Each structure stands twice: as C-alpha cells, then as structure tokens.
Structure 1
Amino acid sequence: MHAYDEPVYLISVVAKVLTIHPQTLRQYEREGLICPSRTEGKMRLFSQKDIDKIKMIQRLTRDLGVNLAGVDIIIQLKEKLQEYENMIDELKEELIKVNKNSGDTVKNPLVKRDSYEVIIFGE
C-alpha cells in the first residue's frame, strides 16, 4: 500500500482510470491546477491525492460547467479555508494550554471548527 501523497501512477494509468485524455492532464498541469511529481527522466508520476484532485476538477467542469479559471479559484479558496482551519486548531490548542496553566477550565470552547468540502450531487 502506498501513502496518500506518494507519486506512483503514470499519466497513462491515470488517464485510463479517470477516462480522461492524457493531453487534458497536461493542460491541467500547464494551468497550475495539478502539479504531479517527475522522475529523473521527466516522466509524470501522480499520487492518489493528485487523482482525487483531478476527480474534483472533473466534477466541477463536467457536472457543474465550471471553467478552468473558476476551478482554479475554487481550489485556491479550498486551500485557504484549510489553512485557516489549521490556524484555528493551533490557536485552540494554545488557548487550552493557557487556560490549563492559569488554572481555569474552558467549558465551552471559543472556537468551533467546521470542515468545508466541495459537495457535488450526482444524478
């Protein structure tokens, strides 16, 4: 079993599994939507994380009609939300430490974390 972000799949395998033309994957890379790893021989290698991202791109473009510029914005917003959620988690941990050291107990945390995902309903 491979790690989620370990690059192991060739472009031809990814294209076949996702029923997508390899040129489309190259276009996604040119647009900056995906960034597969490269071997020393310059062959693209995709991880399962890359494949999941491509699946999201396919759902947005095929099912919802979002253009690639819109997909780029959605991906950037999703990454920013994840960054903020991580920051909230760190601040929450820091708050717990401060309250532990001061002897106070926090009955209701000041910050609640919500996970934001792109949910697409199929037919």
Structure 2
Amino acid sequence: MPTDSSALFAISVAAELAELPIQNLRVYERRGLLAPARTPGGTRLYSQADIVLLRRIAALLTQGLNLAGIRRVLELEREVDRLRARLGG
C-alpha cells in the first residue's frame, strides 16, 4: 500500500489534483518550496504529501503572501512539527 510520501503522480496529474497550472509546480520547485521525486530519466513524480503541500502553497498565495514569505511560513511550520514531535505531542 502506498504511503503519503510515495511518488505516484506525473506533473499533469499533480497539477490537476492541486488545481494549479503545471507551470506553477515548476516555479515552486525552482523556488525551493517543494522537491518532487525524479525518475532516472528526470521525470517529476509527486506524492500525496506533495499535493497537500501544493494546496497549502495555493492557500497562502490567496492570503497575499509572496513565494519568499511562503517559504518562510513552510519552514516555520516544519519546525513547529519537529518541536511537537520532540515533546511527544
């Protein structure tokens, strides 16, 4: 059974699932907001976790943040998750 981090989706499917243009996914990758898996031939493969992240990015954009701000928010959210895990809750 695939996990949330299993890379399953081609870029066209990921864009459709996230309701974003394909070009946006490429931009977000170039800006370091996400890092999809790659096949040996270089094809991007997205996981369910990547789709969730893409939706989070879209939500932050609608709130008025730019990509640099979104990167910082995502970094802080990951840090909060790490600290919660360390504290056991």
Q: Aligned residue for 1:49?
A: 49
CA RMSD of aligned residues (A): 1.1
Q: Aligned residue for 1:60?
A: 60
Offset, 1:26: 0.5
Q: Which has the higher helix share?
A: 2
Please give the alpha-carbon distance, in whole angstroms, between the structure 2 residues aligned to 1:3 and 1:80: 22
Offset, 1:23: 1.1
Give % identity: 35
Please give the alpha-carbon distance, in whole angstroms, between the structure 2 residues aligned to 1:5 and 1:75: 17
| Bigger Rg over Cα | 1
Please give the alpha-carbon distance, in whole angstroms, between the structure 2 residues aligned to 1:18 and 1:73: 21
Q: Aligned residue for 1:37?
A: 37
Please give the alpha-carbon distance, in whole angstroms, between the structure 1 residues aligned to 2:58 and 2:66: 10
Q: Aligned residue for 1:87?
A: 86
Establish whether residue 25 from structure 1 lines up as the match of residue 25 from structure 2. Answer: yes
Contiguous gaps of at least 5 residues in structure 2: none
Please give the alpha-carbon distance, in whole angstroms, between the structure 1 residues aligned to 2:64 and 2:31: 17
Which residue identity is paired with 2:71? Answer: D
Q: Which has the higher contact order (CA 8 A, sep 6+)?
A: 2
Corresponding residue pairs, total: 89
Establish whether residue 73 from structure 1 lines up as the match of residue 60 from structure 2. Answer: no
Which residue identity is paired with 1:40? Answer: P
TM norm structure 1 = 0.69
Which secondary structure state, in structure 1, belongs to the residue aligned with residue 45 of structure 2? strand
Contact 2:17 2:51 in 1 (8 A): no
Please give the alpha-carbon distance, in whole angstroms, between the structure 1 residues aligned to 2:19 and 2:46: 15
Which residue identity is paired with 1:65? Answer: G
Which secondary structure state, in structure 1, belongs to the residue aligned with residue 33 of structure 2? coil
Which residue identity is paired with 1:23? Answer: Q
Contiguous gaps of at least 5 residues in structure 1: 90-112, 114-123
